[in-house]
Structure 1
């Protein structure tokens, strides 16, 4: 007979939720670094494997196809089996497929492109549950008044990742060869898998959380029993598929889902084509690109954290949740349109400054995950996050392919930058015109 480990003394004040947030921040940073490995090593990989811009666009998009296909199944698995078990498997396998990309050069050139496409596809397949799981964990561990900051922090890990790992991966490509970009990141992922298994637990089952902290987050709206087994002894059912139809019938939900698609279009330009843009349009070396690419990423990280802090500050100051979430989004997307101005200068310093401003704005306005934590039906948080990610990651397919086509046919990145800037405007309009009031959706159960 198993005995649940008791919570620590009610007199002890704890902040275990911040440790949990740190863990998902680090895992998400590695998650995005693994996605970005090919963009950093892309020029060297293309040269060694004899790939043109169109083929690189197809390989970049492979991740997105699998990531997209697995979103709803991944969300269902999260709601059925819980965040810890599903995320553990996800982290292990995406680390494995990252590592295996380092051995693509061992294959004959005729098979290199297809092998790389398959491994990128499997990387996307494995990473699919990650962000919906992050949203579930934040919804379980954080009250509403802290959720914007917490969600913004884990979401900003993507910028932190590019800032920290871009110089490292650029140096690895330059000093050791592009193969080691993938092998090093794979090994890091395996180490994080061990830490994840050891430290992540549900709020009401965590051995270090105090009753005071548990009461505080519960009273504030945290769904602390999200993954608690049924007291009747029956296995927990997954969410009903009729929930999908209800969520897609909600104007508020559709506005948030579509807004994420346009916001992610900006993200995927930076994750795929931005380093190649610096090499081919601005004549930078791959070593310099690794350092320069870190500047917009750092600005994106600052913007991402600041956007969540500002949003939660507005909530605490008495503004409605709708106003508090929408103001940073609108301001951020307006700043992100500054990327178009790069077409009107050849000065590298100005280009990097404009890219930094655009990425700061994108980070500041990227509050989609806090909004999902606010509006997702409590019995289907994972599934809702998955649908949200389905819409958002259509951009992971469309953006690499569209930009690859534009560059190949027009021999310039100018149109591509306009495409990215217009995506920011479209995201802003989704929240201003379509979303309406931001509130938790209540599902009708059959």
Structure 2
């Protein structure tokens, strides 16, 4: 018992649990991208229908982002994360039981609702367990799981599909989620109120209504929407692109599709450190520069003829785009009080999940409309990145803007 208590009192062990929870969340939602070709073949679905399937998860996920953040603020991060783990694991298992397009749409929509409380609750947990001075690095470390989870999904899914088939693969992954829910129940302790987090009077008056009426928050929502369109489109369709356009086999595509996201995970860890050390108060400039670099390499990726150069460019594109992830998400954990961290995270992530709904579906329709060509779909991603860059350019002094709005 004393060893359990010691682990529960260790913030970095808690960060590891949050990181692993995010890894599992990304595995559960991203392995379907690797299974997409097999699912389409078994259920007789074309690219446009499969794009809707990918987007149906994000419809439910986006719908509950702001309510999920409010619930995390009201009931605490631990309860919401455990409920989310149980719910998304249940619908992961049910994905393997789908028998038609409509059943798959319903299951993935409910999957999104079930998982929706986890992002805001985990960001609130960072605010609950870490002092303000260490939150940006802790948040970047936790959210680097987004890239690492996307990297592990094809490496894990491809051999599992060959061994078990796509249906049993989903059931096996679901079992891990149920086990992790038990681990969370045992090891996540009640957070202690921190002296450095005792809010000023103006901060204590901040509410969800204040956040919804603050233009700066909506600029962050748009910035995250634009970037996440790129990240979700990239993650959702890259395995199929490698299979159909670059003519790789399933194992090769799984391996190559994982490389950009390993690079992205490293970029997020590095980005969190760079933002804290060199871009404090200038986070928007960091996000702008790295996104411009990411867009350039994305263009080079789908226009180059050589396979080796395409792989190199996709790795470099993901590296810079995921660094932008760290730049945007460093802002809320630095400047907002713990009391509204769940609501603020839910609000910003709402933009990202609307992007997750729009991106795979639009790309699927564009691929179908252009007779299997992915070029128009990638141009759509570039346009979305430009929207994010413009939104970042409009950001002023974010902290001053928020404090002025609340004080007023």
TM-score, normalised to structure 1, is 0.83
Corresponding position: 1:154 with 2:154: no
Equivalent of residue 295 in structure 1, options 254, 259, 269: 259
Equivalent of residue 51 in structure 1, options 39, 45, 51: 45
- The aligned counterpart of 1:235 is none
Residues in 1 aligned to 2:175 and 2:108: alpha-carbon distance in whole angstroms? 17
Residues in 2 aligned to 1:51 and 1:257: alpha-carbon distance in whole angstroms? 33
- The aligned counterpart of 2:213 is 249
SS of aligned partner of 1:202: coil
SS of aligned partner of 2:232: helix
Q: Is the 8 A contact 2:81 2:122 kept in 1?
A: no
Corresponding position: 1:425 with 2:386: yes
Q: Is the 8 A contact 2:26 2:153 kept in 1?
A: no
Residues 222 and 407 of structure 1, relative CA distance in 2, 3 Å threshold: farther
Residues in 2 aligned to 1:149 and 1:383: alpha-carbon distance in whole angstroms? 20
Any idea what the Cα deviations from partners look like across 1:36-63, whole Å, max 9, x if unmatched?
A: 0210100011001100011101111110
* Structure number having the greater helix percentage: 2
Which protein shows a greater Rg?
1
Q: Is the 8 A contact 1:336 1:421 kept in 2?
A: no
- The aligned counterpart of 2:303 is 344
Deviation of residue 219 (structure 1)?
4.7
Corresponding position: 1:37 with 2:31: yes
Deviation of residue 130 (structure 1)?
1.1
Residues 445 and 84 of structure 1, relative CA distance in 2, 3 Å threshold: farther
Equivalent of residue 381 in structure 1, options 308, 322, 341: 341
Residues in 2 aligned to 1:274 and 1:222: alpha-carbon distance in whole angstroms? 45
SS of aligned partner of 2:226: helix
- The aligned counterpart of 1:124 is 112
Equivalent of residue 330 in structure 2, options 356, 370, 377: 370
Unaligned runs of 5+ in 1: 205-213, 224-238
Any idea what the Cα deviations from partners look like across 1:196-217, whole Å, max 9, x if unmatched?
A: 111112332xxxxxxxxx8xxx
Corresponding position: 1:326 with 2:284: yes
SS of aligned partner of 1:284: coil
Residues in 2 aligned to 1:168 and 1:269: alpha-carbon distance in whole angstroms? 20
Deviation of residue 194 (structure 1)?
1.1
Unaligned runs of 5+ in 2: none
- The aligned counterpart of 1:210 is none
Residues 347 and 222 of structure 1, relative CA distance in 2, 3 Å threshold: farther
- The aligned counterpart of 1:62 is 56
- The aligned counterpart of 1:207 is none
Provide the aligned C-alpha RMSD in A.
2.4
Deviation of residue 279 (structure 1)?
1.1
Corresponding position: 1:190 with 2:151: no
- The aligned counterpart of 2:73 is 79
Deviation of residue 300 (structure 1)?
0.5
TM-score, normalised to structure 2, is 0.91
- The aligned counterpart of 1:236 is none
Deviation of residue 423 (structure 1)?
2.1
